[in-house]
Amino acid sequence: MRQFFRKFRFLGIVLLGISAVIVYLFYNALQPQKTLPVYQPADFNPELVDDSVQYVRKYHTIADFSLINQNGKIVTQEDYRDKIYVADFFFTTCPSICPIMTENMVTIQNEILEDEEVLLLSHSVTPVIDSVAQLKKYALEKGVIDKKWNLVTGDKKQIYNLARKSYLAAKTDGDGGPYDMIHTENFILVDKEKRIRGTYDGTNPKEIEKLLNDLSILKASYTD
């Protein structure tokens, strides 16, 4: 008799375990899938947005570009086709927030090193100073890996327009010419459709953690 009950006790434990797994799977299936918002110019602080796009509420994407990276190679939107990427604005002689931003971008670089879906893109806001040779020197000093991360320079007007009309990541200076700007500490997460999916304080380690978490959410949205 005891042996009989032992057999049924074992069966009961097995059934209980199976039931727990089923309940867990149903619970997960019923949970709403995490998604990231698609940001538009109207969602941003107006100080960061050019007047021409300030009230745009849908269909905003990053404009096409043609710039030169640390190796003297022309970099265009084609190099980022079907890629998720993180963009920012900096300059190599910046003594304040740029070194911290670069250090945190290196952290992101190390996390995505083997991930072929994700790249990085840093734009110089002082292209006259940041020549190809200067960018290369900076890249070597900071540990930039060419296959993952482009530091780009080029036409000042084009970079200004990208910062103010596309990435929404710079304020106007106003006292040094029509295309002078003050870049922010923002890192911008861009999806494969060239849309902004998040902005993060590039000097804040907790914001970097959030960016990496959001990156995982964004990547998962392309596998469903």
Q: Is 154 within the bounds of a domain?
A: yes
Let me know whether 101 and 143 are in one domain.
yes
Residue 36 belongs to a domain? no
CA angle 202, 94, 162 (to 5 degrees): 60
Residues 45 and 86 in one domain: yes
7 falls within a domain? yes
60 in a labelled binding site: no
Same domain, 148 and 103: yes
Taking the C-alpha atoms of residue 125 and residue 90, their distance in angstroms, rounded to an integer, is 6
Q: Structure pTM?
A: 0.84
Question: 27 and 63, same structural domain?
Answer: no
Same domain flag for 147 and 212: yes
- Render each residue's pLDDT in the chain as its tens digit; 224 residues: 555 445 555 555 555 555 544 544 444 444 456 899 999 999 999 999 999 999 999 999 999 999 999 999 999 999 999 999 999 999 999 988 999 999 999 999 999 999 999 999 999 999 999 999 999 999 999 999 999 999 999 999 999 999 999 999 999 875 556 677 889 999 999 999 999 999 999 999 999 999 999 999 999 999 86
Containing structural domain, residue 82: 41-221
* Domain identity same for 115 and 63: yes
Asked, for residue 146, whether it belongs to a domain, the answer is yes
94 a known binding residue? yes
Residues 19 and 64 in one domain: no
Angle between helices 97-111 and 205-221 (to 10 degrees): 40
The verdict on 93 and 180 lying in the same domain is yes
Q: Is 20 annotated as a binding residue?
A: no
